[in-house]
């Protein structure tokens, strides 16, 4: 167990950042549409708890439900199930690029672009469980808490990882998931049950859920007050609203500083995604942004997942080069050249300059 993560973290698949592990994009080059469970990134505030499903119960309580009740693992498995293909992406994905690309480094897990993955999740719609607890029309917020240890940082104990979810989102497309890509949730990804909040920042998708409070008034936790909001000179004094939907991003399925042969016809592959809807167009530039050409989109394009693409490149003479990819989604969302700074380095959505070294073949 490295840094509190149960699964193996082979160097070819992951870059380990303390208690979290980032998927290497080149590890997706031979993967299918979904990120296999053993290659999926892990973001832990503390450490993966090992939970016995037989003794686990999910408690649902608060002024927004009729009764304080609880459900066992078997009861959850017997409820009507649905399947959702969705990305989970850390709000800090791309954080290191605030420093590397824009010259304004920020503290926090130094993700490049591998703090994201798409899986096929299966479970019960959260609304189904809330209804069984007697959901009231007065309900305002839903607060799921994780069973991992309280999060302590710089001497401050923030308590268990928990983040209020507005009732409208909770009743829309949120899943209480117990399966990931056809297998029971692996321990690192929330066994026995986690939330999957499609299209929203990853922190909304609370793992190892043990308790859900449904309130009749707005709820607060450090994860919607102190963290996961935008602070800084380009944002409102006192911070922006709690982060919800993710932006648009693109990545090449290549190592950072990939070594590629000169004067060859190469097929560059990548993936693009957006929290606002389907990606409809991806363009690639191999001349530093002077000209752009369409990449060919292929395969499935679920609203909350990503799309895979390819682009044929006649590689140039040996030397250092930069590859750029930018996507547009169905709502008109795109990737800018520059991302305004925020103190925590969230939501780096600018076009990424991916360095490659072209060498004599």
Ligand X SMILES: Nc1nc2c(c(=O)[nH]1)N[C@H]1C(S)=C(S)[C@@H](COP(=O)(O)O)O[C@H]1N2
Say how many C-beta atoms besides its own lie within 10 A of residue 336's C-beta: 12
205 contributes a contact to ligand X by CB under 6 A: yes
Residue 163's φ and ψ, nearest 5 degrees, are -150, 125
Residue (of 96, 26, 33, 39) closest to 260 by Cα position: 26
Tokens of 215: 């309130």
Residue (of 325, 349, 351) closest to 252 by Cα position: 325
Q: Closer CB to ligand X, residue 44 or residue 335?
A: 44
Among 94, 114, 146, 349, binds ligand X (CB under 6 A): 146
Q: What is the spatial distance between Cα 243 and Cα 241, in angstroms, rounded to a whole number?
A: 6
Q: Are strands 194-196 and 175-180 parallel, antiparallel or unpaired?
A: antiparallel
Longest pairwise C-alpha distance within the chain: 70
Q: Closer CB to ligand X, residue 274 or residue 286?
A: 274
112 contributes a contact to ligand X by CB under 6 A: no
Q: Closer CB to ligand X, residue 23 or residue 286?
A: 23
Among 171, 197, 203, 303, binds ligand X (CB under 6 A): 203
Among 90, 124, 307, 339, binds ligand X (CB under 6 A): 90
Among 28, 135, 140, 161, binds ligand X (CB under 6 A): 161
Give the nearest residue (CB) to Mo ion.
90
Q: What is the spatial distance between Cα 47 and Cα 19, in angstroms, rounded to a whole number?
A: 7
21 contributes a contact to ligand X by CB under 6 A: no
Residue 199's φ and ψ, nearest 5 degrees, are 75, -10
273 contributes a contact to ligand X by CB under 6 A: no
Of 34-53, binders to Mo ion (CB under 5 A) are: 43
192 contributes a contact to ligand X by CB under 6 A: no
5 contributes a contact to ligand X by CB under 6 A: no
Q: Which stretch binds ligand X (CB under 6 A): 62-70, 204-212, 229-237, 293-301?
A: 204-212
Residue (of 112, 118, 61, 64) closest to 89 by Cα position: 118
202 contributes a contact to Mo ion by CB under 5 A: yes
Say how many C-beta atoms besides its own lie within 10 A of residue 86's C-beta: 25
175 contributes a contact to ligand X by CB under 6 A: no
Q: What is the spatial distance between Cα 300 and Cα 305, in angstroms, rounded to a whole number?
A: 9
User: Minimum Å distance from CB 310 to Mo ion?
Assistant: 29
Task: Please report, for residues 158, 208, 301, 303, the alpha-carbon distance to residue 124 in angstroms, rounded to integers and kept in the order given.
Answer: 29, 15, 23, 19
324 contributes a contact to Mo ion by CB under 5 A: no
Q: What is the spatial distance between Cα 176 and Cα 210, in angstroms, rounded to a whole number?
A: 11
253 contributes a contact to ligand X by CB under 6 A: no
Q: Closer CB to ligand X, residue 204 or residue 248?
A: 204
User: Minimum Å distance from CB 41 to ligand X?
Assistant: 5
Tokens of 347: 């939501």
Tell me which residue has tokens 């996507």.
327
Q: What is the spatial distance between Cα 8 and Cα 73, in angstroms, rounded to a whole number?
A: 26
Q: Closer CB to Mo ion, residue 33 or residue 346?
A: 346
Tokens of 90: 């850390």
User: Minimum Å distance from CB 58 to Mo ion?
Assistant: 22
243 contributes a contact to ligand X by CB under 6 A: no
C-alpha radius of gyration, the chain, whole number: 21
Among 35, 84, 90, 196, binds Mo ion (CB under 5 A): 90
Q: Closer CB to Mo ion, residue 202 or residue 242?
A: 202
88 contributes a contact to ligand X by CB under 6 A: yes
Q: Closer CB to Mo ion, residue 143 or residue 201?
A: 201
Catalog residues that contact ligand X under the rule CB under 6 A: 40-45, 88, 90, 146, 148, 161, 189, 202-203, 205-208
């Amino acid at each position: 167990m490295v840094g509190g993560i149960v699964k193996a973290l082979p160097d070819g698949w992951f870059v380990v950042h303390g208690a979290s592990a980032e998927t290497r994009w080149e590890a997706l080059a031979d993967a299918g549409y979904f990120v296999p469970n053993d290659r999926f990134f892990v973001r832990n505030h503390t450490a993966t708890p090992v939970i016995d499903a037989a003794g686990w119960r999910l408690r649902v309580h608060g002024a927004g439900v009729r009764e304080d009740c609880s459900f066992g693992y078997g009861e959850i498995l017997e409820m009507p199930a649905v399947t959702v293909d969705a990305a989970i992406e850390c709000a800090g994905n791309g954080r290191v690029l605030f420093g590397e690309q824009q010259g304004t480094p920020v503290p926090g897990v130094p993700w490049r672009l591998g703090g994201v993955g798409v899986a096929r999740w299966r479970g019960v719609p959260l609304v189904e469980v809330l209804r069984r607890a007697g959901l009231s029309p007065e309900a305002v917020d839903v607060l799921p808490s994780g069973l991992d240890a309280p999060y302590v940082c710089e001497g401050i104990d923030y308590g268990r990882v928990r983040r209020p979810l507005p009732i409208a989102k909770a009743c829309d497309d949120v899943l209480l998931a117990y399966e990931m890509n056809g297998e029971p949730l692996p321990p690192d990804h929330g066994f026995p049950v986690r939330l999957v909040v499609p299209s929203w920042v990853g922190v909304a998708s609370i793992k190892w859920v043990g308790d859900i409070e449904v309130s009749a008034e707005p709820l607060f936790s450090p994860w919607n007050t102190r963290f996961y909001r935008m602070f800084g000179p380009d944002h409102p004094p006192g911070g922006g609203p709690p982060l919800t939907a993710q932006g648009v991003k693109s990545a090449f399925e290549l190592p950072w500083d990939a070594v590629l042969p000169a004067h060859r016809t190469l097929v560059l592959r990548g993936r693009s995604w957006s929290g606002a809807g389907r990606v409809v167009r991806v363009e690639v530039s191999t001349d530093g942004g002077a000209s752009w050409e369409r990449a060919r989109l292929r395969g499935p394009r679920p609203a909350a997942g990503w799309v895979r693409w390819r682009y044929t490149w006649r590689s140039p003479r040996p030397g250092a080069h930069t590859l750029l990819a930018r996507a547009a989604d169905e709502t008109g969302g795109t990737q800018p050249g520059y991302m305004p700074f925020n103190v925590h380095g969230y939501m780096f959505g600018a076009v990424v300059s991916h360095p490659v070294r072209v060498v004599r073949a």
